Structure 1
């Protein structure tokens, strides 16, 4: 009977621990990225009555507490730095105080006073640095905001959608202007004047720039065939897109701008026509821009962080890193939704999102807890009943022992 008392006690202990796990799951039902745990029990064998080939158990023990790594549902937010993972993987964060690396599914990040992307605990999110000038991807480092000002981009190409009236009289003129940018981001307005000739239209470029010495010696002519299409062989320059050279613009570098109206085969791309209708410009484009200030940051499903500037430029500056493990159940819980590598988890495989086994990034979302309240309440009821049953074993065994003691009387 003494043995049955200890069996009952083991049941009380095991179910008390199970109830603690259930309570922890329910308490974290609103914790972002939380993974519910499940308990497993094992019987205790300690006696064998060999003469009767009987094996008597000695109760139960808590065999393990295993986290359930199924993904939680995603909740939309208004913050671009709230991130969740669609699929496998963990975010990588570093503790700046000691350099220790942790891992997490909770992606509630924000920019700190130093411009670093951090977790609520101040741990810095890790990713791959990207050179804004060349786009080259570097090694893993802290994700930080780029310089608040983007460099200007000098204009290298322009194009027009334009018709020049084939019915115009010789000497008639038409003017078209386009704003371009030098290497310092200053505006250089190109005024292209067209003059009707007997064979087509001559053109010449003048420059309206903040430096009065700026000038362009670029000239040429456009000639059309009977269908109103450009005849590249008769144009000046022949069979080539002209280059507009802007010189004397002060400390900025001289501009050499290609005016594109021929395709790769040196035939007309259809942007400039010579029909019998009023000369007009319907479209224009150029690829330069001035310097700009950082306005916002966007994140895509591949984990690229892109700075959006006031000049309209969008420049990637980092890509977030994810880590995959051979055994997620072996990760060591550290609190605050953090995990650490252990011998049981194996070493992490770190890489960009959407590569190998790693999932993609869902920006402006947070992964919710995967706790199922219905399941937890059922487990709570069964654990409570198991606890009551084991306590009944103890009280019944005590009654039997009391009855045995009363025999002596």
Structure 2
């Protein structure tokens, strides 16, 4: 009968508005939750079949609550370098565990980018979920857009130490333009007689024997770092030539046993260096010293692998790999005054440990070492869906894939609508308190009105029952 249907309609109103109240409560409770997406409850009418003409039966109302996942939250500045936000449609891929991850373990999706480094070195967010990314191997990223298992938990501590072998040494020096010509200069012949080299002289002095080589006019020492992080001393020895503005030059190792030169002990490179009449370094006329590096402004000397290659190479007992070192002489000049080494700058660095982590706009996660080296570890991949609002909400401000969301595609940040990474930022909740409080008022009134329907229907049924009396 119509009175019963009215009562049932009132009950459906109570249930529907209770659901609306619950979603509003969730919204208000998560107003400060990072990247939280507000819930919205929509109402739709229920129409029943009208079996008896002239008698209307109420159907009531039903509530459907959905989360507005696709709504972009405000990007706000954060203090941590590992706090990251997405400006766009993508999602971070996370897992519930870091170690022992298998293909069968569930991958979840989140916009919550408040990541930090845990005790084991993994990047985890506030819900202790592990951020996934494509590993970087030799600066190469192998990204598979359809396979989430190609991503691995990002760990910033399982890296060992970072070593940077020296590749460039810059010398800033002055050579005395009126340097007296050495009496041994006439006999100096490094190509024909290795015993006349300046490297031979240095080795003889180091071994405490009577020098047979040629004493240099000026020696500049520098320290280089090998591929294993060890340090070695190398000298650039200069001998004034009897040709104006010309100097004989040799590069040799100290001690000589560090390298196998195949000739004079420790000798790495020899030749002639020229200067202009104004005292400026003249690389174009110094091809003899530059050798294969000409016409570059900077000569390069190669220290080969100890087990293979030709001399000069690292000594076999050191077990070091190939190393190419560029010697930048552009700041070496010839002028009045004394021979003077002003500064030596090189790019090598010995073993260093991780002291910080940073994320850039391209999604690369890099470790910063205390020896000033920066190493790329992984690249964050962002998951995209044709219909993000169709994702299934999960605990920890995450979502799981669902048929309604469509097929997932993993993309690099900024690629094809995946969204851009904002380092040192967080996405704010999309909850508007003024909107939610207004919703509270209307929901309360609607709930009260639905209860009034039940009360009125109850009174009418009482009247009907009273008719018998």
TM superposition score category, shorter chain reference? 0.7 to 0.9
Of 315, 318, 321, the match for 1:251: 318
Is the CA contact (8 Å cut-off) linking 2:163 and 2:227 kept in structure 1? yes
What's the counterpart of residue 276 of structure 2? Answer: 225
Of 281, 300, 312, the match for 2:360: 300
Of 407, 418, 433, the match for 1:358: 418
What's the counterpart of residue 338 of structure 1? Answer: 398
What's the counterpart of residue 191 of structure 2? Answer: none
Of 261, 278, 289, the match for 1:237: 289
In the alignment, the residues of structure 1 paired with residue 314 and residue 33 of structure 2 have an alpha-carbon distance, to the nearest angstrom, of 63
Is the CA contact (8 Å cut-off) linking 2:162 and 2:369 kept in structure 1? no
| Pair 192,68 (structure 1): closer, same or farther in 2 beyond 3 Å | closer
What's the counterpart of residue 192 of structure 1? Answer: 236
Q: Note if 1:216 corresponds to 2:267.
A: yes
What's the counterpart of residue 87 of structure 2? Answer: 86
Report Cα offsets for 1:135-173 as digits up to 9, x if no partner.
222342222235443353433433324443434444594
Is the CA contact (8 Å cut-off) linking 2:20 and 2:65 kept in structure 1? no
Is the CA contact (8 Å cut-off) linking 1:38 and 1:68 kept in structure 2? no
What's the counterpart of residue 387 of structure 1? Answer: 447
Report Cα offsets for 1:50-101 as digits up to 9, x if no partner.
978x986522111343435323334554443333222221111123486111
Following TM superposition, by how much is the alpha carbon of 1:287 offset from its aligned partner in structure 2, in angstroms?
3.7
Q: Note if 1:30 corresponds to 2:98.
A: no
In the alignment, the residues of structure 2 paired with residue 232 and residue 299 of structure 1 have an alpha-carbon distance, to the nearest angstrom, of 41
* Range 114-123 or range 185-194, more displaced: 114-123
In the alignment, the residues of structure 1 paired with residue 302 and residue 155 of structure 2 have an alpha-carbon distance, to the nearest angstrom, of 40
Root mean square deviation of aligned Cα: 3.2
Q: Note if 1:204 corresponds to 2:250.
A: yes
* Range 306-315 or range 235-244, more displaced: 235-244
Number of corresponding residues: 398
**Length-normalised TM-score, structure 2:** 0.74
Report Cα offsets for 1:101-148 as digits up to 9, x if no partner.
1111122334444433334554432110111xx222234222223544
Is the CA contact (8 Å cut-off) linking 1:216 and 1:247 kept in structure 2? no
Unaligned runs of 5+ in 2: 143-149, 183-215, 260-264, 304-311
* Range 296-305 or range 205-214, more displaced: 205-214
**Length-normalised TM-score, structure 1:** 0.84
Report Cα offsets for 1:305-346 as digits up to 9, x if no partner.
112223222111111221111112211112121211111111
Following TM superposition, by how much is the alpha carbon of 1:192 offset from its aligned partner in structure 2, in angstroms?
2.0
Report Cα offsets for 1:332-361 as digits up to 9, x if no partner.
112121211111111211122121211222
**1:8-407 equivalent positions in 2, closer than 5 A:** 8-48=10-50, 57-96=58-97, 99-131=105-137, 134-138=138-142, 139-145=150-156, 147-150=158-161, 152-171=163-182, 173-198=217-242, 199=244, 200-209=246-255, 215-232=266-283, 234-235=285-286, 236-237=288-289, 240=294, 241=299, 243=301, 249=315, 250-253=317-320, 257-261=325-329, 270-276=330-336, 279-404=339-464, 406=466
Unaligned runs of 5+ in 1: 262-269
Is the CA contact (8 Å cut-off) linking 2:93 and 2:132 kept in structure 1? yes
Task: Report which of the two has the higher share of helix.
Answer: 2
Is the CA contact (8 Å cut-off) linking 1:323 and 1:358 kept in structure 2? yes
